[in-house]
Structure 1
Amino acid sequence: MRYAAVIAGIVLIAGTVASPLAEDLSVRLPGVPVTRIHATFECGADGVALGLPSGPFTVDYLNAGENHLAVLPIHGQALVFANVISGSGARYAAGRYIWWDAGARGVTLYADGVDGHPKAECHAVEKR
């Protein structure tokens, strides 16, 4: 139920990335403030091969208490990533994808696992 608090913030974000026919979803978790960070990234040809846009794109980070989500545009739709255990940095997972922000070491999108699978090295363009 704790992840549900963050989902309320996703509705607005998902609607901007997904089709205009997207359904609204709101979930309440009283007393837990939601912090939003919008960051712009570029990932080049490897990112496009994995479904990311060819130019700069926005990733929305939603944090509520111990819940941390990232919303990325994959194959033209908003895909919601949940924070998972990481030895370093912030690691998010959604379906077959891993979005790993390792701070100074950069950000990488992996498909089908981390070791020896397709990946795209990305770099931040702007954070607000």
Structure 2
Amino acid sequence: MLKQMILQVILAAAFGYGSLAAATDLTIHLKGSQPLSRITLQYQCDEQGVKMGLPAGPFPVEYVNGGGNSLAILPVGKNTLIFANIISGSGARYAANQYIWWDAAGRGTTFSSDSLAGKMQSACHRVAAK
């Protein structure tokens, strides 16, 4: 029960930082007793990332892990997207829609898109929280 409430608060907050005027709540029921973990890190990406919809300055990426799930929550365009972890040879790779957020095990973080407009990629890096 407590795990459900914590995840509900996390996801409600994640959806809320994209737009204060229109927020959406989401509740996900997870079985098991594995504890949830949550961490928010600040990132900044190059100009290509801005063209792809990421904020021009530093932005938060929230990582939520629990119940066998690993999620990354990012602001893209006017939305907040929830990226789900997918198998990767190294690092942590997450996917949402046509986007990939990939922290390549210390070799850098990339944000990429493969759409009808073609493949685009942005180099990103962690920045200190202000």
Structure 1 contact 38–60 (Cα < 8 Å) conserved? yes
Partner in structure 2 of residue 36 of structure 1: 38
Match among 76, 93, 113 for residue 78 of structure 2: 76
TM-score computed with the length of structure 2 as normaliser: 0.83
Q: Unpaired runs of 5+ in structure 2?
A: none
Following TM superposition, where does structure 1 have runs of at least 4 consecutive aligned residues deviating by more than 4 angstroms?
4-7
Structure 1 contact 6–64 (Cα < 8 Å) conserved? no
Higher Rg of the two aligned structures: 2
Q: Which digits, 9 at most, give the CA deviation of each residue in 1:34-58, with x for residues without a partner? A: 1111010010211101100000000
Q: Equivalents in 1 of 2:68, 2:5: separation in Å?
A: 11
Larger RCO of the pair (alpha carbons < 8 Å, separation 6+): 1
Partner in structure 2 of residue 93 of structure 1: 95
Q: Unpaired runs of 5+ in structure 1?
A: none
TM-score computed with the length of structure 1 as normaliser: 0.84
Computed over aligned residues only, the root mean square deviation of the Cα atoms, in angstroms, reads 2.3
Aligned residues: 122
Q: Given residue 104 of structure 1, which amino acid in structure 2 is its aligned partner?
A: G
**Bigger fraction of residues in helix:** 1
